[in-house]
Copies of this chain bind each other. A is one copy, B any other.
């Protein structure tokens, strides 16, 4: 089989999508997107999982570049990474508008 690689765009979409691929992480993003920023505890409070697991999910979202956090001792403040959030918005919009026959999209 010849070498058929995936494009950078495809890898980037997959990376963002993977981060969005768990309800807890979607809930975290919903929560963060609805406000300027908030503390870890506030996020933990609205989720049905332990703090260890919340911390893990936050780490993944951070690795994907969708959020960022900074220490504000003794708490940690989290917020959406606006630049990448916008990038993600565009990249997903592009993907879903690449449909040949759907007259309803891209309007």
Contacts and interface: CB of A to CB of B under 8 A. Distances in A.
Contact of A26 (B6, B22, B85, B89): B6
Count identical subunits in the complex.
2
Interface of A: 1, 3-7, 10-11, 13-14, 17-27, 29-30, 33-36, 46-48, 80, 82, 85-86, 88-89, 92-93, 95-102, 104-105
List 4 A-B pairs, minimum CB-CB distance, nearest first: A17-B20, A89-B96, A18-B21, A6-B23
B80 A89 contact: no
A28 to B, nearest CB: 10
A102 to B, nearest CB: 5
B33 A99 contact: yes
